[in-house]
């Protein structure tokens, strides 16, 4: 949330923290789903679809400001190209 949650009291601060945690969990689930889609596409031999899924995973990781996730997504992208 763009506002200082603490300035609205402890109940609001807890709610804001819960929202942040839920958003982070959702991003992790989306990345895991994208990773599975990459692997399924590779098993089908569809490198184009695998690359598309890997790029979407990378976008989620960048948006989530998670360097480890970004590197994992880039590794997926490289594997989708057969490297």
Q: Decide which of 52 and 8 is more confident.
A: 52
Query: What's residue 61's pLDDT?
Result: 81
Residue 74 pLDDT exceeds 80? yes
Helix, strand, coil proportions of the chain in percent (round to 5)?
A: 85, 0, 15
pLDDT tens track for 20-50: 898 888 878 877 887 788 888 888 888 888 8
Q: Look at residues 23, 43, 38 and name the one whose alpha carbon lies nearest to residue 72.
A: 38
> For 70-77, what is the mean pLDDT?
85
So what's the pLDDT on residue 57?
83
Q: What is the pLDDT of residue 6?
A: 59
Over residues 54-64, the pLDDT tens digits come to: 888 888 888 77
């Amino acid at each position: 949330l763009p506002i200082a949650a603490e300035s609205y009291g402890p109940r609001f601060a807890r709610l804001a923290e819960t929202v942040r945690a839920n958003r982070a969990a959702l991003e992790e689930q989306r990345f895991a789903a994208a990773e599975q889609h990459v692997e399924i596409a590779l098993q089908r031999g569809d490198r184009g679809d695998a690359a598309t899924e890997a790029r979407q995973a990378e976008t989620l990781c960048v948006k989530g400001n998670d360097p480890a996730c970004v590197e994992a997504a880039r590794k997926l992208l490289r594997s989708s190209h057969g490297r």
